[in-house]
Amino acid sequence: MPYANLSYEWLGPAIFVSAAGAFLLLYLHDRRQLPILRLAGAWLLSVIGFVVVMLVDVDLQPAYQLVIMGSLFSGHFLLVWGVASLMGKDAPWLPIGIATLLVLGAVFYANYHGSLFWLRVIAVNAFTAIVYLSCCQLVWRARSHRTDVVLASVFLIQVVMSVSRIARIGLSNLDLSTHASFKSSQFALSMQTENAIFAIMLGLALFARYSVALVMQLQRHAETDPLTGLFNRRAFEAKAQALRTASEPLPAGLIICDIDHFKRVNDSHGHAVGDRTLKAFARLLERETPDAAICARLGGEEFCILITGLDEEATRLQAIHLRAAVERLRIVLNTGHLRLTASFGYSALDAGDELWTAVSAVDAAVYQAKNDGRNLVRGIASPVAKTGQAKLA
């Protein structure tokens, strides 16, 4: 049944080409996704070596060894690079480079002494084990979702498979002295099947990881203000409610601030400087508030901060601290420095206080601060938050 065997032998390359084509389609849809392009290249280059090993007796035509080695190294380099960039990490080039040199040394030694094709197989499997272990570590260290655990597991499984092949060669009486004997062995057939299955598993796992990353990116875009990177109004409501529920029965400090005379910044220096000012102000709020604080841009030059665990006095002190920090802020311009001030309102929220009722009351306190001269802090005591009654800070 030569045709059946030939069809089966082409199953692996067909799987690799299909995965590469799917990654290329994703890249063509969004050409900013360079990790996907690198993964497509990894699959395509792997096909070349796969096909040459099947069709050519490299013992009779040694020049094809360069094609196989080139496919092996370049394909796996792109795999590591693609996985590293997908996970937002630096690729571990040092161990990969050392492994490459060792494999090349083993291949040259096997070619020089002859009848040592088994040594080439061991060297290649050792190299792939190091590559897959490096990818497993990259994914595990950067894991942020359950799909990362699955992806790391797929790499780890292939590490175990590569090591098991080395063990099988060392412990069995397999005749792998030449490329021809290797091609006709059951070992080659199982290795080919395992690689095909691995290509499917890894492709699906990487697709799942990419999909999760894309969904998370879309969610971030939906929740954040595109200019400042802070939460938008809708996300603030959801995050604030969840944080207050999780921290009950502790109170929460609510602070709203508005940059003073921001229209003058745009009119005098242009909207580009205005945008820089809003970004710098947002970074200041993030820097000068606790890590667990929720900072949001409500609109225009108005910002909101929610910090759990603060009573009225602690909230007042936090607002005063922020007011002073804004006074110290300097925006570097070509003509000098731009200085800012901001007006603040605050209130402590008890567990039963309604969020947007309090936001409206604190917003009124901000306007009170502006009416009183700006660069001031005005507070709303929690028991009278619903009345909108302001008090001096």
Predicted local confidence at residue 391, as pLDDT: 54
Predicted local confidence at residue 383, as pLDDT: 45
The CATH architecture assigned to 233-392 reads 2-Layer Sandwich (3.30)
Predicted local confidence at residue 4, as pLDDT: 40
**What whole-number percentage of the chain has pLDDT above 90?**
48
- Sign of the Cα torsion 201, 206, 207, 209 reads positive
DSSP string, 78-95: HHHHHHHHHTT----HHH
pLDDT at 268 over 80: yes
pLDDT tens string 195-241:
888 888 988 898 888 888 888 777 778 888 989 999 999 899 889 98
Residues paired with 253 in a beta bridge: 307, 348
Q: What is the mean pLDDT of the chain?
A: 87
pLDDT at 254 over 80: yes
Under the banding of pLDDT at 50, 70 and 90, the label for residue 387 is very low
pLDDT at 381 over 60: no
pLDDT tens string 28-57:
888 888 988 999 999 898 888 877 877 777
**pTM metric for this prediction:** 0.67
Predicted local confidence at residue 388, as pLDDT: 47
pLDDT tens string 314-365:
999 999 999 999 999 999 888 788 999 999 999 999 888 899 899 999 999 9
pLDDT at 5 over 80: no
Q: Please state, in angstroms and rounded to a whole number, the distance separating the CA atoms of residues 370 and 359.
A: 17
pLDDT at 114 over 80: no
pLDDT at 3 over 50: no
pLDDT at 181 over 50: yes
pLDDT at 62 over 80: no
DSSP string, 271-319: HHHHHHHHHHHHHHHHHTS-TT-EEEEEETTEEEEEEET--HHHHHHHH
Average of pLDDT values for 69-73? 89
Cα separation values, 12 from 3, 92, 196, 365, Å: 15, 28, 5, 69
- Among the listed residues 58, 42, 75, 195, the one whose alpha carbon sits nearest the alpha carbon of residue 116: 58
Contact 129, 95 (CB under 8 A): no
- Among the listed residues 320, 286, 302, the one whose alpha carbon sits nearest the alpha carbon of residue 364: 302
pLDDT at 128 over 70: yes
Q: Please state, in angstroms and rounded to a whole number, the distance separating the CA atoms of residues 42 and 75.
A: 4
Under the banding of pLDDT at 50, 70 and 90, the label for residue 6 is very low
pLDDT at 257 over 80: yes
Predicted local confidence at residue 58, as pLDDT: 67
Neighbours of 137 (CB within 10 A): 16
pLDDT at 188 over 90: no
Range from 26-30, 88-92, 117-121, 378-382 carrying the lowest mean pLDDT: 378-382
Average of pLDDT values for 120-129? 91
Q: Please state, in angstroms and rounded to a whole number, the distance separating the CA atoms of residues 360 and 287.
A: 25
pLDDT tens string 137-164:
999 999 988 899 999 999 999 999 999 9
